[in-house]
Structure formats: structure tokens, C-alpha cells
A and B are shown apart, each in its own frame.
Chain A
Amino acid sequence: MRDMIDLSSDADQIPDSALLVAYANGDPAAARDLSARLLPRVMGQAVRMLQDRAEAEDVAQEAMMRLWKIAPDWRQGEAQVSTWLYRVVANLCTDRLRRRKRGGVGLDQIAEPADTAPGAAAVIQDETRLRALSDALAQLPDRQAQAVALRHLEGLSNPEIAAIMDISPRAVESLTARGKRALSAALADQREALGYDDD
């Protein structure tokens, strides 16, 4: 593939799927170009859903590993690489959230950082709230959690989410509405612990 397209001139113009096929054909530079393009997006999605850097890195590495494995069988034109990756990362994250829920790690079990510098308290509170949001996502059914995350954390449109989750846009609407209500109810129980009543 690479001998047919001059990738060095403007690599940004090459579709992800063409780079993936180039990788499958043995092009040594294709993996580097694809990773530079896709890994930040994959990592961002995982961090926003999990609010845990170490876990997000594991998910990102696993998602990219699955991409390398599927490369030889990738059919250009059938699916977008980005759509496929959103789905894989969302699934891997809900797997992690389920495990976290079973493990029962609550807010009171997260170690308090020792930083006492001015402004540190606000930063800690923000981090605690974001982690609580992630833990509340873990309480939702997988499909609701994925739909809410793709809509409200990734900012995707209903048709985009429908393509990722392989459901209708109306089903996406229903899942996000129910998911958001459940999320709000889960967090309402922790208002005091999250410092909302002090605001």
C-alpha cells in the first residue's frame, strides 16, 4: 500500500484504514503513524471514563493491541477505525468499571494526597468528584454507562454513538436519558461527601 501512496508528503491525509492495511502489509512506519494519531484519542477516552491513569493506560494498550491483531482481516470501507476503537475502549472500560464495582472501592477508601499547598484542596476536591463520577458510572448497566460516556464525556452525536454501539439513534437517546438520571441519583447520595453542600 505504501509503495502506492507517498505517505511521507502528507501523512495526515491518509485514512486510518489505509494506514492499518499498510501496517498489515508489513510497513514499519505505519504503526508509528497510526499510534501517534490514535493513541492520544484512545487514552483520553479511557481516562475520562475511568479517572485512573494506570487503568486507562492498560486499557489503551489493550485496545491498540486488538487493533494490531485485527489489522490483517480489516476490510476497508466496512467500518471506520475510529468507530471500531471507540467501541473497543468503551467495552474495555465498562469491564474495568464492573470489576471496580465488585471490588467495592469507595470514596473513603481512596488515599488522601499529602499535598497541603494553597489551592491543593480544590484540586483534590475536583479529582474526588471526577472519581465519584466514574464510580457512579460503574453502578449503571454497561450499555447505559457506555452511551452516557460517549455522549457526555466524548461529546459525540446520537448518530455517531448509534454507529459505535450498533443500535438506533432513538435507542441511544433512551439509554443516555435513563443513564443520566441514574447517574444523578447515584451522585445525589454523596452530595455531602463530595462537598457540594459547601458550595
Chain B
Amino acid sequence: MMMTERDMNDLDQLLNAAQRTAVPASDDLMARVLADAAALQPAPGTIKPQQRASRIGWLRDLIGGWPAWSGVLAAGLTGLWVGVAPPAGVESFAATMIGTTQSVTFLPETDLMLFEDPTDG
């Protein structure tokens, strides 16, 4: 059926009338709702702490959240760097304190020779 402006006006009037519909909640309904509330209400002190949002949340919270973890990561990377390529000051300091130092190379020069181009020089 064709919809006309008159149909739309009738609908607007009807929607306005419906918007004014107000039916108060009866005492009986209120009593039923309160009975449900009483039946479903947890006893005081029985609510467990809310579940954490993520699975690794406990780990993150263990030392104080992400800012603390970024500090741990930075310290770890710095330690690794000092171990792999110790600055001159660290080596001389270690020599002074311990008395002797030992250098270890993970790639002996003989192995490096294998990668050299035989035609070069």
C-alpha cells in the first residue's frame, strides 16, 4: 500500500500518545521484585574479588604493573649488553678488583677464516 503524508502524521500522533502511556508498577509487582532480590542477594562478605581482566594480569601486578616491568626489562638488556661488550672501564675495574681478567671469544679467528673469499687477496 502507498504510504502517504497522512499516514505518517497519524503515526506521529499515535507515537506521541504511546509515549504518554504511563502505568505505575503495582504493589504486587514491587513485592515480587523485592522477593526476587532477597532470594538472589549474596550474603555479606561472600562476594569474591572481581576476576582479573587478563590471564597475565597476576604477573603484571606482581611487581607493580607495566611501568615496573619496563624497568626490569631495561635493566636486563643493559646487563646483557655489558656482559657481551664490556666497556673498557668495566674491564680495568674488574682487573683492579679481581686481579685478573679473562677474555673469551665466541667466534675464533680460525673459524672466521672459513668465510673469507678465497679469491680476495
Contacts and interface: CB of A to CB of B under 8 A. Distances in A.
A56 B33 contact: no
Interface residues of B, number: 36
Contacts of B26: 57
A133 B19 CA distance: 12
A196 B10 contact: yes
Contacts, number: 120
B41 interface: yes
A187 B3 CA distance: 10
B40 A57 contact: no
B107 interface: no
B37 to A, nearest CB: 4
B84 interface: no
Given A129-B14, A184-B3, A60 B25 contact: yes
A24 interface: yes
User: Does more than half of chain A's interface fall in helix, strand or loop, or is it mixed?
Assistant: helix
A146 interface: no
A31 B25 contact: no
A79 interface: no
A175 interface: no
Contact of B43 (A26, A180, A185, A187): A26
Interface of B: 1-4, 7-8, 10-11, 14-15, 17-19, 21-26, 29-30, 32-34, 36-38, 40-47, 50
